[in-house]
A and B are shown apart, each in its own frame.
Chain A
């Protein structure tokens, strides 16, 4: 009995001693909680976070990772439950609008006082509501036409050029379509997203998703793309959707000569072409700006901003801001840029990196920087409190038109009414 009592006393003292021993160290360290998706398989996050921790000793980073597909919906629900995430990554503006609308993001104006926003080229303004800044622009992606130089060379056709008209683009796709069965090459690839059509109209600012009166301007673009589909110059929407076909593979395997997709594809091409293990042969690729009927070239860029914000219930907003400033600032931007992802911070260092990919990646084109630095950055889906609902209506319309379930004009009439019901403006 005595022995056990003694033992208990010794153990208690030992336990208390260790607690006190660790206590001071714990008090100094702050751990910020960061919510994001795809952390495990994205190298640049890890590089950035390590860099941040080195630059800011005493701040530790805890990652809360969610599945990519449902992230937009999950984060909104999580924040409604008042999770104390310090840093919140978002996929785009519609979910950011929802979070702001719920009062679940922290205004950054005080934290960001005195911060130099010049290198962001004004992209941060798209993250404000009534003049209040709610997030920092992390990535920006604009859509481009990617093309396979080898296929064009083989066919003896000139490469697509900046500022070509939409009809020239369609004709080029027809010209580049060849072969049958397994060896068929499609002139271009139209992935299943609504943006793979509406982005042409958005590029020339004829269309914006939250103004239903502009939806009719999509008609010529749908007509053009549907014609290509009927002529067999692009893969069929229904087949792509049923087969859950990812656009990246279609282009890697040289099944399509062109493809309209975002600049993140630069990163994918740098990493995957060539890749013998995955059966991806070497080919040269290039990019050009979006076709349009107004003679616009690289001065316009259209795409999305990936924002990152501080949660409304953050326990360490100061440290969270430091994290934001680091990852969206010069250091973070260069880490991103080296992987071929376009950071929103667009200083000369970043542009240089994009101009010199060819040094290490002989398949890449030279002079990529002019395609990511247009002075007029058109936000694909500007902030709107009803953004998610309106975008969903647009997606439904897209599948109705692309499968031929509805005629183009009929669909646009019906769905623009639905968009208005979902909160889109009726325009003038």
Chain B
């Protein structure tokens, strides 16, 4: 026994040493994450049970914030609806568009690099700049989009961000324009990873273009599709910046989403307790959706 222990010790020490080294490498990022992300998340759970204006006044109120949220907040359900509207409007279109663009850019096309850069550009450009351009294009009175529509004979084109019905579609369009280029690149990487032998084999078996897509391309990029879907859903659920720089949630509350409601309650109304409760709700929604997606992942994706 003793001899074994003696012989094991140096190895164990070495192992410990190695572990410490590994932890030290993780430490800078991990400490930052703990202090700046994890602890605030836990704290927001705690604050969600307080009535707190960020000042000296703070009172424990139990579930009062949640009761207010579900039953009394006159904007809450509208805001939740807007959030889902925004997500459901954005995710599928952005997904399909970026896959189509990627497939197009994956062809032997003249000026391919140029087009890739063009599509990627909105993603690199600052949100504010992109938003200003988009809003100018869709200006209800003087915008080129409506001028084209009018010259095509549509006498009463949509008033875009200037109307409650069209404000959200306008913002969805802006989001897709800004994001599609990025996901195109992600898909492009996936497409280039599809072995050419598979296409050759499919061709030999007489598969047409659509069949090649349905039976080779699509199954091969499912892990990417899963990743893109998840990123898009999480991204759209927590986005408020895009509304902040375009419509400020208006007209009325037509484009006010959950994250915007949280921002307003925290930084404009100074109701930090209630804002924390709202963010706990947002957290729960995103968590549930992500769990469902992970469940679906196993059935849906093919990993080679």
Contact = CB atoms under 8 A, between A and B. Distances in A.
Interface of A: 73, 76-77, 80, 98, 101-104, 235-239, 241-244, 386, 388-389, 392, 395-397, 399-400, 402-406, 411, 417-418, 421-422
Q: Which 3 A-B pairs have the closest CB atoms?
A: A238-B162, A102-B55, A400-B252
B56 A103 contact: yes
B251 A400 contact: yes
Interface of B, secondary structure class, is loop
Interface string B226-239: 00000000000000
B55 A421 contact: no
Which of A235, A395, A405 lies at the interface centre, i.e. has the most chain B CB atoms within 10 A of its CB?
Answer: A405
Interface of A, secondary structure class, is helix
Contact of A239 (B75, B142, B252, B254): B142
Interface of B: 53-57, 72-75, 132, 135-136, 138-143, 159-164, 247-254, 256, 264, 267-271
B269 A242 contact: no
B64 to A, nearest CB: 14
B250 A244 contact: no
B268 A405 contact: no
B161 A238 contact: yes
Which of A77, A103, A239, A395 lies at the interface centre, i.e. has the most chain B CB atoms within 10 A of its CB?
Answer: A239
Nearest to A391: B268
Contact of A404 (B163, B249, B250, B268): B163
Contact of A403 (B73, B135, B159, B267): B159
A244 B246 CA distance: 9
A309 to B, nearest CB: 15
Contacts of A77: 54, 267
Contacts of A389: 268-269, 271
Contacts of A395: 248, 250
A236 B162 contact: yes
B135 A243 contact: yes
Given A241-B162, A242-B143, A244-B135, A102 B56 contact: yes
B250 A403 contact: yes
Nearest to B132: A244
Given A396-B249, A400-B251, A403-B159, A239 B54 contact: no
Contact of B136 (A73, A103, A243): A243
A406 B140 CA distance: 18
Given A242-B135, A403-B162, A80 B54 contact: yes
Given A77-B267, A98-B270, A392-B264, A242 B55 contact: no
A73 B263 CA distance: 10
Contacts of B136: 242-243
